[in-house]
Structure 1
Amino acid sequence: MGYTGSVPDTAARRLDWMGAAACLGQQEIFDDPDRVHEARIICVARCPVRSQCLAYTKECERGLHRDQRDGVAAGLTHDERHRLDDTAVHRKDDGDPIKLDGSERCGTHIALLRHLWLDEPIDPKCWSGEVFREHGNRNARQRAAPAPRPAPPETARPKRRPRPPAKGDTPHERRIYSLWSTGASDLDIARRMAVSVPSVLRVRERLGLIANQADRQAS
């Protein structure tokens, strides 16, 4: 009896390669214009399907304007792909198209673009040039970045202004200070507060109050 079950579909599909792309799950890197070099590294050094990605991108973007392209794909920015595509629509404010004629000097940016666009091996000299350019661009961005604002001073709870020592810290001391400020003698203060004269004297000395005229005359 022959097998009557379903036959597994093992035929390769046109876009199966996308599952092996190194950029999966890292879209934020490929959409960030400040991380182009980081995206290039992923494409050039880590992606096993860059050739398929390049062919697919060229096919999908053929004839499109720069504004209809985005991000980094196959190691090339949307602007680079637009300028390298000789079928692309161009406007007056676009950058000049890049024409590759085989005279690109190794180690230059245009030579790197040639390798990437034509899916050629990238030699160490061209990649070293890319690394040096990225360092220069990074330094330029850091110099152009506005200086960070100084951190605001820590907001602290306003400190209570200390009460002048002469006025006392307790109701008893403040009462003595209040009477002393009227010119009352130690004896008068003691009588009005029903305390002893020595206790008034101790408080007055602790508060740094000089004796009033009556006390000085008595001494």
Structure 2
Amino acid sequence: MTASHYAPDTLLGRYEWHARAACRGDAKIFFGAGGLVDIARRVCGSCPVRQQCLDQAMRLESGLAHDFRFGVWGGLDPKQRARLDPDVRARSEKRKNVPRYGGKPLAPCGTRGAYERHKRKREPVDDACQAAYDEYLAARSTRASRKAAA
């Protein structure tokens, strides 16, 4: 018996489904651009190992944004797979729950920034925002008087 220079084939069972895939040997339509996506989805629709393919894609791409995912796997395009990924979904939910104005998080009430936002949007100013703004004006006038005395 001769010694092998290769590691034993321990992964064969994990990827044996590749041999039964409907797309075997035709990677161009799955990683091409444009109208090929619809053709790829049709091929995936009749594939007996569609779920294993999708599972592998989700394992390989775990945590990646859709910009870093490529091709059609298990009948889904990169954006569809990103929406299924719990890590990506969690990041998306976190961003969605932060109120934004002009791309920046909104200043919380009780701050000068919130007071100015209320004024800019012609909203009623609550007591906490008014108090924060009054405090700002008092500090500003104190600084001005110190500067004049110096």
Question: What TM-score results when the alignment is normalised by the length of structure 2?
Answer: 0.48
User: Higher helix proportion, which one?
Assistant: 2
With normalisation by structure 1, the TM-score equals: 0.34
Higher relative contact order structure (alpha carbons within 8 Å, sequence separation ≥ 6): 2
